Amino acid sequence: MKILAVTLEKCSGCAIFVDDRIVFSSSEERYSRIKSDSSFPLNSIKDGLNYTKLQGKDFDKVIICGNKISLIPSLINEYSSFSLDDQIKAMDEYWYPNLVLGENKSFLEVFKDKINLEQFPYNTKLGKKFDIFKLQNPYSEEDGKNVSNFFKQALSSLLEINEDKIIHMEHDSCHAAYGFYGSPIRDDNTLIITADAWGDDLSGTLALYSKDDNKIKRVKEYHHKSFQLGRIYRYTTLVLRMLANEHEYKVMGLASYYNGPMIKKVEQVFDNMLQNDGLEFIFNKDIPDIYDHLKNNLKNFRFDHIAAGLQSFTEKILVNWISNVCKYYNSKSVVFSGGISMNVKANLEISKITNIENFFICGAGTDETLPIGACYNWAQMNGVNPKPLTSLYLGSDAKYEEKEVLSLSEYTVTKFDSSEQILEKLLEGKIIATCRGNMEMGQRSLGNRSIIADPRISSNVEKINNSIKKRDFWMPFAPIILSEYQDLLIKNPKNLESPFMTIAFETKDGKNKIPAAVHQADGTARAQLLKKEQNPILWNLIFKFYEKTGVPALLNTSFNLHGEPIVRTVNDGLRVFKKSELEVLWLNNHIIEKNN
């Protein structure tokens, strides 16, 4: 069986499934170099076809993720081109007039200067078969048909296939399939939870896995107007004048710096908006515009108080809900997917729920992995048992010609023979960028497109920020920890697997042992727990570091310039290396070092 699936909104991209597993997945941003690119994923599809040596005619099915996908974000590249001022303009000039004043404004009229039809892989006359300025938000049924035809024509033209080979798949069923089939858990009655802001009119679902039937069955769903946790977090981020749909992780990172009495007062604002009662959520129907309500009700609170109150509210409501759900369905194994599953601090608290014995979160549970879930879902529906993800190294390899690097006369270029060479530079306190092997899928680097350093040296945080990252002062870096030696550094009483940096862990004196790779306010670590079979070369390097230092971990952060996507190719890596103050670049077969 061969399947191609695409996601067409935030962080657009694709996945390819062959036989019983995912063999490729990537996001368009890695090719365009535009963060969170929401344009048509032309380049990622082409790279996937090239990598797998497949053509459109080879696929049994092509899947568009989502039944009610929006053309608007693609037309204006909303998620990648909007500035903070643009987002606030959208709230003030579109959402407030429509939600509160009852007007009927067109989103595209407000942002018509951003419309880009040239991104689609065919003559734009196909886009002129309907009036895009009349598109409603949310869509009418007629709009939905037009938009579906629009994207089917785009894919049909690109892949040279008949449109009847292209189908849609519901948003949250993709999240659920990714969360379960991508995980190693196959326990009977496993609870599959999805939670996000919106997808096909839902913002959450519950499903159960039956081992006898080898199927997952949805048992409950939540309408987006009742379960609005994702929107509350998103618009609080915007109230704090950070980019919504992008900087929620910054709010989570900021939250730990305040632990005082104002948390409860801020929580009351959110409690008055959304409550959990058993399995149900109740949203205050007197609030038509969440952003406007938050802006007015949070204006007298300090920024760190708001972040702390929001995170505390989020953790409490999720823990309460998931505790109730586990008891109701008598589930002891849980997988979690959807955008809200990216909140690693909430995941830490969920992992502590007494009834939960096994808890797993696949990497990048946001919409960029919907295509992986779509492939899994279709395969399972057609008699194929999908293999779990053993890693997220699903992109193309960092190949290069030797002559390309040997010609870099301004640097010292050495043949890579042994991890001892990299170890030596780490112990010298040098910051090392990696661009080797297959690229990671998702927003978290897992060692192949990373910046690594000695986690014992606290000054490495400032050094990395000054040389390349330019991160906000409160944001921590994270560790890659050898799974077999994790007990030396973190508390993991349930021995949970976390190969994709999806759970924060409390540490054992982490502020002193690995100060550069923990959150300095609370000492937690968003750890990648690495097994040897997942990345043998990286595992061996960290093991050698452990033998020398007694610390089975390295500091890890993504290899990119501030505001850019993670690097993809060696050329991307060299460009960033040249523009930054990084000292060493580690490629498949060479080490490039700047001369003093």
pLDDT-derived band at 130 (thresholds 50, 70, 90) equals low
Residue 578 is assigned to a structural domain of this protein: yes
What pLDDT is stored for residue 65 in this prediction?
97
DSSP state of 465: I
In a domain, 502, yes or no: yes
CA distance 2 to 375: 9
- CATH number of the domain bearing residue 148: 3.30.420
Q: Is 109 exposed, middle or buried (0-12, 13-18, 19+ CB in 10 A)?
A: exposed
**What's the rounded mean pLDDT across residues 397-418?**
94
pTM: 0.95
Give me the chain's average pLDDT, please: 95
End-to-end CA distance of the chain: 54
Q: Are residues 132 and 201 in the same domain?
A: no
Phi, psi of 169 (to 5 degrees): -135, 135
For residue 594 the two structure tokens come to 């700047």
The pLDDT of residue 251 is above 90: yes
Distance CA 165, CA 153 (A): 11
Angstrom distance (rounded) from CA 374 to CA 509: 42
CATH number at residue 424: 3.90.870.20
Cα 549 to its chain centre, rounded Å, is 33
The helix (H) or strand (E) run that includes residue 481 is strand 478-482
Residue 368's alpha-carbon distances to 6, 85, 328, in angstroms, are 9, 25, 31
Q: How confident is the model at residue 9 (pLDDT cuts 50, 70, 90)?
A: confident
Do 191 and 162 have their domain in common?
A: no
pLDDT value of position 128 = 57
Tell which of 309, 337, 361 closes a domain. 361
Verify that 195 and 163 share a domain, yes or no: no
CATH of the domain at 244: 3.30.420.40
Domain final residue, candidates 341, 361, 381: 361
The domain boundary, picked from 361, 391, 417, lies at 361
Q: How many residues does the chain have?
A: 596
Residue-number span of the structural domain to which 352 is assigned: 185-361
Decide if pLDDT at 121 tops 70. Answer: no
Which tokens is 293 given? 């309500």
Tell me the C-alpha distance between 315 and 293, whole Å. 21
- How far apart, in whole angstroms, are the C-alpha atoms of residue 189 and residue 176? 14
Q: Among 533, 538, 374, 363, which residue's Cα sits nearest to residue 22?
A: 374
Q: Is 329 helix (H, G, I), strand (E, B) or coil?
A: helix
Cross-strand partners of 216:
209
Count of domains observed in the chain = 3
